[in-house]
């Protein structure tokens, strides 16, 4: 797969197939593991091989479900061995934090989020209003995603996760949808 900024080149690549268009969020990678529908572990990506356990902090993210309807023995989701998703702090919350804490060392919302998920006191994490957006599922026992990223995102949403805004799109509708994203 190559990168492009050309809508025409992307439409040509899609050809007669459908694709998924969504936002790319600049956040952290966190893996959530659920066993029998219960959140049992949250890890940062770390260096790609070894991450940090942040389960205590993940439990106070603004929108992570502590229990999901899927009761299979284990699922590993989005971006991480289990549930991978993207934690982030909204720009508006970052600005409010910077105003409230004049000595703030964080230069941007991503850095604040990174520091927030590593706090020893999860009350601080909770106050910083960290949000989690599921982006993909690494492994889910007995779940058939029909080789479809769109189906996977919809399934994650049905489990109670917030997912990034996304649309199933074909080449004909691509320019219109890209224009709407650009407006936003």
β partners of residue 146: none
Query: Which residues lie below 8 Å from residue 132, measured CB to CB, with a gap of 6+?
Result: 30, 32, 58, 61, 62, 63, 64, 85, 86, 87, 161, 162
Chain center to CA of 153: 10
Q: Find the radius of gyration of the CA atoms of the chain.
A: 18
Give residue 64's region: left, alpha or beta (phi > 0; psi -120 to 50). Answer: beta
Q: Measured between alpha carbons, how far apart are the two ends of the chain, in Å?
A: 26
5 is catalytic: no
What does the block give as tokens for 171?
């080449």
State the Cα–Cα distance between residues 172 and 59, nearest whole angstrom: 42
What does the block give as tokens for 89?
């702090």
Q: Which of 5, 24, 105, 146 is catalytic?
A: 24
Q: Which residues are catalytic?
A: 24
């Amino acid at each position: 797969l190559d990168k492009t900024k050309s809508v025409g080149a992307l439409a040509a690549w899609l050809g007669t197939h459908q694709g998924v268009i969504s936002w790319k969020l600049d956040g952290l990678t966190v893996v959530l593991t659920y066993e029998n529908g219960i959140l049992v572990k949250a890890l940062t990506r770390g260096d790609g091989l070894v991450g940090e356990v942040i389960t205590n902090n993940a439990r106070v993210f603004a929108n992570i479900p502590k229990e999901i309807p899927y009761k299979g023995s284990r699922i590993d989701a989005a971006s991480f061995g289990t549930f991978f998703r993207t934690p982030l702090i909204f720009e508006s919350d970052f600005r409010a934090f910077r105003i409230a804490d004049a000595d703030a060392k964080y230069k941007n919302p991503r850095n604040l989020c990174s520091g927030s998920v590593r706090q020893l006191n999860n009350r601080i994490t909770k106050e910083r209003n960290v949000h989690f957006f599921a982006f993909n599922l690494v492994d889910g026992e007995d779940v058939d995603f029909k080789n479809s990223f769109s189906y996977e995102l919809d399934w994650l949403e049905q489990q109670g996760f917030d997912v990034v805004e996304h649309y199933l799109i074909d080449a004909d509708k691509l320019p219109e949808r890209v224009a709407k994203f650009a407006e936003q």
